Structure formats: C-alpha cells, structure tokens
Amino acid sequence: MHPEVQNTKEGKCPKCGMNLVEQDTKIYQAMRQKTNPAHILEKTAQKNRGVLYTCPMDPDVVLDSPGNCPKCGMELVPMDLPEQEEHTGHKGAEQDFRKRFLVTLPFVIMTMFLSPSIQNWIVFSINFPRAEWLVFALGTFIFFFGGIPFFRAAKGELSHQNPGMMTLVAFAISVAYLFSLATTFLFSGESLYWEMATLISVFLLGHFLEVRAVRGATGALAELAKMTPPMAHLVHNGGIKDIKTNDLRINNQVLIRPGEKIPIDGIVIDGESAVEESMITGESRPISKHKGDQVVGGSLNQDGSLIIEVSKIGADTAIAQIMRLIRDAQSSKPNVQYLADRAAAILFYVALTAGIVSFVVWVFILPHGIIFAATVAVAVIVVACPHALGLAIPTVTTITSTLGAKNGILIKDMKGLEIARKLSYVVFDKTGTLTKGEFGVTDIILAHNSKLQTQDLLELAAAVEINSQHSIAQGIVNETKKRGLKMPAVREFKSFPGKGARGRVNSGEVCVGNRTLMEELGISNLKFPISDEEFEGKTPVYVVIDKHFAGAIFLADIIREESKEAIQRLHEMGIKVAMLTGDIHDVANEVGKQLDIDTVFAQVLPEDKVNKIKQLQTQGNIVAMVGDGVNDAPSLTQSHVGIAIGAGTDVAVESASIVLMRNDPMDVVKAIALSRKTNNKMVQNLAWATGYNVFAIPIAAGVLYPALGILLEPQWAALLMSASSIIVVLNALLLRRAKLTV
C-alpha cells in the first residue's frame, strides 16, 4: 500500500502494518539481468546500432536479444522500427493475427451453418451424407491454422515457467477440439466444433485489436526516432554534398537552410538564426543561435542559414539519449505493477480451478451433460484470462513517459514518478534553480588599510575564480572581462566546495570565499569602511591576499519569474516548500520572503545538504529534492524523488529519477501533475481489469443459469475478455491528450 516503504528485510510495513512483499518476482529478476543498463550499453557498443526487442502485447518487456516474451510467451519484435518495415515489429504481429482471422473466417461461418444446433436455432437445414466429416476437416484446419500463434506463445510461457493467458487460451481451444474429436470418432454426441471455431475467431480478432492498440501506445518512441531528418547537407571541398545523416562523422561541417530541421548535434561555426528546440526541451520559444552555440539534432531552424560542426553522433546525440531514457523508463516498473503481475499470476490458477470446479458441478451435482459442462468450463477459463490486468499498468507508463518527454520532463525511474503524487515537501536548491544563477557584481569594497585599487582586487580574484565552476566565480570573471581587465596566471589552484577557492598569483597567495572560509583561515577582521546594511540581500566574496584581508566583492542574483508561480501552485496542491543553500542567511531569507518559502536552510555545507533532506524525512515527510544534479547528487539520491533541473541536452543525470530539460521550476509542478494523472489512470485501469471478472466469472460458471437461464457462451466470453483488454488500452491512450497545466 505504501510503495515508498522499501526494506531489505521481510516484515511489516511501518505505516500500515501490512506484510511487505518481495519486489522482484522471478520474471523480473530474469529481465533485470537482461535489461541491466551496463549490460545493454556493452551490447549497444558491440552492435553499434543496439536494437532492443519488445513484446507486441506487453510494452514493459524490453530485452536486448530476440526470443519469447517472459510474460506472455509471444515472439519479441524489434523496437522503434520505422513504419515501412511492415513484416517485423509490432506491425508484423498485428498483421499475422489479421491474416489468420481473415483466412479462417469463411470456414468458421461454414462450420456454423453445418452445426445441427445452429440449424435448429434458425430453422434451416442442409444435410448431406458425411457432413460431419466436412465439419471435422474444417474444424481441424481452423484449430491448427488459427491456433498456431496461441500454441507458440503458450510454449513460450511454459518455457519461462510462467503460465498465463496464452496457456489458458491454448488449453481452452484444445479442450474443445479434443472433445469434438472424441464425438467424431469415439462416441456419438454433439461436437463443439463451431464453438471452438468461433472462439478462435474471436481470439484472433481480439488479439489483432489489442496488438494494434498497444502499438498506438508505444509508437511515440518511433516518432521520436523519425524526428531527425534522414539526409544532411555536408560541406565538402567548398561544395555541398547530400549524405545520409547516419554517415556523418565528428567534425564534419553541415549546412542547414532556413526552415530545415537540424540533422545532428553540433556547434555553430557560421551564420545566425533562431532555432525552435521544443521537441527536445519542451521550450517553445525559438532560441537565437550564433557562432559557438550548441544546436541539437531534431530541432527546427527558422529564418537563417547555419553551418555547424558535428559534435556528437550515434548514441551520444541528445535524441538518442532521450530515447534510451524513455526505453529505460519503460522497463522500470512502478511498484503497483509488481502487484498487478502477481495478481495476474494468481488469476491464472483461479481461472483453472474455477473451470474445473464448474465442470465437476455441472456433470455430477447438477447433471446437465458433459457437453454443457465442457462448454461452461471453457467459458470460465476464457473469461478469467488475466491479460487486461497485465496490460493495465504498462500501457499507462509508456504513455506517461512519452507525454512527459514532450513536455520536457524525462522520467528515469517510474517508482519516483509513482511516489511524486504523495509529496509533502519539495526542497529547492537556491542558486540556479529558484534564482537564475547569473551573479552580477554590484559593489567592490576595499578594506580600511588596503594599498590596492578596486581593479587590482577584481583582477586578482578573477585570476583564481577562472578555474572554478561556481556561478559566483563566473560572475566575477565576467565582470573583469566586461571592464577590459586582464587576469594574471594562477598556480596551485584549490577549490573548497561551498566555501571558496585559493590560488597563487604573482607570487602572492589569493583566497576568495565566504565567512566560513575566512574563519578557517583565521581572519576575523572583516570590517568595511561603509556600514553593512548597504549590502543586504547581496552575497559577499571576501578576498584575502597573503593572509591579509584586502576587500570584498558583492554579487547579486536574480530570482526567476517562474519561481513565484511554481511555489504558489505547490502550496495550492498542499505541498510545503523548502530552500536549501550554501549562501548566507541574509540572502537566503530575503529570497525566502519574496517567494513565500516555508523553510529556509541557509549556510549549509555541500556535505550537510543531504542531512537536511533526512531531517525532513524523519519528520514523516515525503520529500522531493530539486537541484542541478552536479553538486546536489547525494541529496537527489537521498530524497524520495530526485528531480534534476536544467539538464538541457545533457540528459544523463545519474542520481535523479526525474530529469527536467528546462530550467523552469514550473516543470516541477507539471511533473507532480503528471504523477497524479498517471496514478488516476492506473487505478481506473486496475478497476476495469479486475472488476469485470467479479461479474463475468460467476456468470460464465452458470450461477444465473438455473434461475434465469442466463449463460455466457465461450465466444462471448472471449469477446468480453478481449474487450476488457482493449478498454484498458484505450483508457490509457486517453492520457495522451492530457494537459499538464494545473
């Protein structure tokens, strides 16, 4: 009941006292081994093109080699093939079912007309000698030709020791056929040929529709693959040559004309244009690109021409990475799926037992003859087929991951998304997340007895900071460049994360950093000639030269416009917001006040950030951490839901379960909305998939027969079973059109 509770030992859930269940069933352990990312990457490297295989009916099954589906036994098909490759892929399986349905249909109709009971029913009769032989021949053909896909899949299921729907189908039609054979050859009596024939017909039709629906649900990935144009204009010996995008190599130069799609990732080396990157980042505003800017394959060039130098090819491109993430997400299961699959496995035995029990009852306890009893048994087994249950969750998760990707939200781990709907606290990193992380220098103040000029102070600080990754360092370096100053060379650079940096410039030692660093250096006299109040809300960087305090550079950051709205929305959703920063209390409180943040954690050292998350968790909160993924990695991992923000095209953020492409806190709100919508769909689907059994199994077993004469015949049972699967898939498909605005 509480998927966030995960324990390495058996026992009871600390929240509700239910027995904890084992997370990996045998199938998933096998699949995990095969879908282990390291294993896949290695294989991908080997094969270069790394084709993965999926089941046409169970989209959550993703393996790296062909074979049978461990869940339903069907033959696996290659993933993400373009539509034109008809005879493999999902389309191949779909067409196979259709072909078998159409070929057997006329014979099924003939069998029906030749059946004495149907002739009786519509008061019509054709009778010729040896008619039963014709019926036998027709039945046999239908049984073998129409039944093959089910027998094959049943064999696959049994070989994985995971009997399920296909085994039941194969069993049901075999029972009907063998019984009919017996009436033809062993004893006289009415056969079940026409019942068997219609059953197979409905199964074929149902599976055709089902595979088709699943293809619709998983097709989005193939659509992503189609986003990059197949051909590119290579700049070659001063001329232009059109070559396949796949043949491009690193450092090739490629021309992109106005209105064309950019074929591959690269750096602009000539030209200027606006580029719309919404397919990759979800950002719909076109972004202007100049020399030196990065462009990504699949984005749309607008008004100008660009020449780019290819910087990434093959599996390294942003699109390829995104596709890989979506595939991974497809095979990462939310916890409810383990539950659904377990229920489906149990339902198999329920179906079998119910079938046998009803047979026994109708033969011995309420004697209605063997034919009646066999028909009832077949109907029970058929109607209880648990396939809808197996489809209920994976169809939703595949659509969720593509819907997310379209909105710039990449889901790496479905378990993270699953918990996101229950969040009670969202913790934001301040710098670069709630604020722009673009620090500007506002003031430079010299110490009382300083012999330096402000320019010298800036130059010396910048000389050290040029080696640092911090956004404060960038602000100082930018200011120096803006003023046209030069930065002396630095040696022995050392960075103190969350504190500052140090280096040797012109034979003097220069330290830059915050108060904590100064205290560690034993420098306490951090007084300025002007009163401190002037600098409220600004971040000071103290500069120390040869152990003497020389002055300070003050910087200010800008709060993102979207932050305020995002926090307001989170509050409306009943979620509290915290801010986590290494910056001083003064600045943090100012930002906290402006944004109406519930809890502010300031002056937290990088290694302590994770403790703040733990602190909120021990108070019983379900916590999401939103950070840039580089220095926030431990906190992202510690939180229930790690959300990496502003990934741009560098989507492979390891420690997060959700990756936001843009740097927009509103996307956090969208991700939570997506989580809630996904959960609603899953619940609906589970209700559909299990609910109908509650009515259908007893009716098929004949509980209404003695009183009302109502019975569910096998072919109707088959129709109902397929219908429930199809309803589940169609219901999941509705999620495609969902809007993530809240």
When asked if residue 472 is in the footprint of ligand ADP (CB under 6 A), the reply is yes
Q: Shortest Cβ distance from residue 474 to ligand ADP (Å)?
A: 9
Instruction: Using the minimum distance from each CB to Mg ion, give the nearer residue, 331 or 431.
Output: 431
Annotated active-site residue 598? The verdict is: no
Query: What's the gap between Cα 82 and its chain centre?
Result: 21
Query: Token digits for 393?
Result: 């969750």
Number of other residues whose CB lies within 10 A of the CB of residue 187: 8
Binders of ligand ADP in range 588-647 (CB under 6 A):
606, 631
When asked if residue 583 is in the footprint of ligand ADP (CB under 6 A), the reply is yes
When asked if residue 430 is in the footprint of ligand ADP (CB under 6 A), the reply is yes
C-beta separation of 589 from 537 below 8 A: no
Site string for Mg ion, 452-491 (x = CB under 5 A): ----------------------------------------
Q: Shortest Cβ distance from residue 631 to Mg ion (Å)?
A: 5
From Mg ion, ligand ADP, none, which one binds at residue 583 (CB under 5 to 8 Å depending on kind)?
A: ligand ADP
Element (H, E) at 542: strand 539-545
C-beta separation of 243 from 234 below 8 A: yes
When asked if residue 495 is in the footprint of Mg ion (CB under 5 A), the reply is no
Alpha-carbon distance of 610 to 637, in angstroms, equals: 9
Instruction: Please give the size of the binding site for ligand ADP, defined by CB under 6 A.
Output: 22
Q: Shortest Cβ distance from residue 609 to Mg ion (Å)?
A: 9
**The one among 146, 513, 551, 702 contacting ligand ADP by CB under 6 A:** 513
Dihedral of CA 287/291/295/299: which sign?
positive
Instruction: Using the minimum distance from each CB to ligand ADP, give the nearer residue, 355 or 513.
Output: 513
Instruction: Using the minimum distance from each CB to Mg ion, give the nearer residue, 569 or 612.
Output: 612
Where does this chain touch Mg ion (CB under 5 A) — which range of 137-145, 427-435, 531-539, 613-621? 427-435
Q: Which residue of this chain has its Cβ atom nearest to Mg ion in the complex?
A: 431
From Mg ion, ligand ADP, none, which one binds at residue 581 (CB under 5 to 8 Å depending on kind)?
A: ligand ADP
CA distances from 93 to 47, 63, 461, 722 (A): 25, 17, 66, 16
Q: Shortest Cβ distance from residue 473 to ligand ADP (Å)?
A: 4
Query: Token digits for 209?
Result: 């529709």
Place of tokens 């733990």: 614
Instruction: Using the minimum distance from each CB to ligand ADP, give the nearer residue, 568 or 631.
Output: 631
Q: Shortest Cβ distance from residue 580 to Mg ion (Å)?
A: 9
Where does this chain touch ligand ADP (CB under 6 A) — which range of 35-43, 179-187, 423-431, 451-459? 423-431
Q: Shortest Cβ distance from residue 499 to ligand ADP (Å)?
A: 5
Instruction: Using the minimum distance from each CB to Mg ion, give the nearer residue, 579 or 735.
Output: 579
Instruction: Using the minimum distance from each CB to Mg ion, give the nearer residue, 373 or 613.
Output: 613
Dihedral of CA 475/481/487/492: which sign?
positive
Q: Shortest Cβ distance from residue 283 to ligand ADP (Å)?
A: 23
Number of other residues whose CB lies within 10 A of the CB of residue 640: 22
**The one among 204, 501, 550, 570 contacting ligand ADP by CB under 6 A:** 501
Alpha-carbon distance of 564 to 547, in angstroms, equals: 42
Site string for Mg ion, 387-426 (x = CB under 5 A): ----------------------------------------
Q: Measuring CA to CA, which residue among 535, 498, 542, 496 is closest to residue 518? A: 542
Alpha-carbon distance of 727 to 72, in angstroms, equals: 19
When asked if residue 500 is in the footprint of ligand ADP (CB under 6 A), the reply is yes
Site string for ligand ADP, 533-562 (x = CB under 6 A): ------x-x---------------------
Instruction: Using the minimum distance from each CB to Mg ion, give the nearer residue, 304 or 497.
Output: 497
Where does this chain touch ligand ADP (CB under 6 A) — which range of 118-126, 240-248, 385-393, 510-518? 510-518
Side by side, which strands form the sheet with 273-276? 287-289, 273-276, 300-301
Instruction: Using the minimum distance from each CB to ligand ADP, give the nearer residue, 282 or 475.
Output: 475
Site string for ligand ADP, 562-581 (x = CB under 6 A): -------------------x
Query: What's the gap between Cα 355 and its chain centre?
Result: 39
C-beta separation of 551 from 518 below 8 A: no
Where does this chain touch ligand ADP (CB under 6 A) — which range of 37-45, 233-241, 298-306, 425-433? 425-433
**The one among 217, 512, 674, 740 contacting ligand ADP by CB under 6 A:** 512
Query: What's the gap between Cα 337 and its chain centre?
Result: 14
3-state secondary structure of 255: strand
Backbone angles phi, psi at 525, to 5 degrees: -85, 75
Query: Token digits for 671?
Result: 């991700």
Instruction: Using the minimum distance from each CB to ligand ADP, give the nearer residue, 298 or 627.
Output: 627
Q: Which residue of this chain has its Cβ atom nearest to ligand ADP in the complex?
A: 582
**The one among 332, 398, 514, 563 contacting ligand ADP by CB under 6 A:** 514
DSSP 17: -
Number of other residues whose CB lies within 10 A of the CB of residue 238: 5
Instruction: Using the minimum distance from each CB to Mg ion, give the nearer residue, 397 or 431.
Output: 431
Say if residue 527 is exposed, middle or buried (CB neighbours under 10 Å; 0-12, 13-18, 19+): exposed
CA distances from 410 to 417, 554, 613, 706 (A): 10, 37, 23, 56
From ligand ADP, Mg ion, none, which one binds at residue 541 (CB under 5 to 8 Å depending on kind)?
A: ligand ADP
Query: Token digits for 325?
Result: 């993430």
CA distances from 109 to 138, 196, 198, 201, 485 (A): 10, 12, 8, 10, 90
**The one among 582, 592, 646, 665 contacting ligand ADP by CB under 6 A:** 582
From Mg ion, ligand ADP, none, which one binds at residue 715 (CB under 5 to 8 Å depending on kind)?
A: none
**The one among 44, 431, 563, 655 contacting Mg ion by CB under 5 A:** 431
**The one among 165, 234, 446, 473 contacting ligand ADP by CB under 6 A:** 473
DSSP 333-378: PPHHHHHHHHHHHHHHHHHHHHHHHHHHIIIIIS---HHHHHHHHH
Instruction: Using the minimum distance from each CB to Mg ion, give the nearer residue, 335 or 433.
Output: 433
Of 328, 341, 413, 429, which one is the catalytic site residue? 429
| Residue at 616: amino acid letter | L
Beta 623-627 vs 658-660: how paired, if at all?
A: unpaired
3-state secondary structure of 29: helix
Largest CA distance in the chain: 122
Q: Measuring CA to CA, which residue among 718, 641, 682 is closest to residue 210? A: 718
Q: Shortest Cβ distance from residue 555 to ligand ADP (Å)?
A: 9
Catalytic residues: 429
Residues near ligand ADP (CB under 6 A):
429-431, 465, 468, 470, 472-473, 498-501, 512-514, 539, 541, 581-583, 606, 631
Residues near Mg ion (CB under 5 A):
431
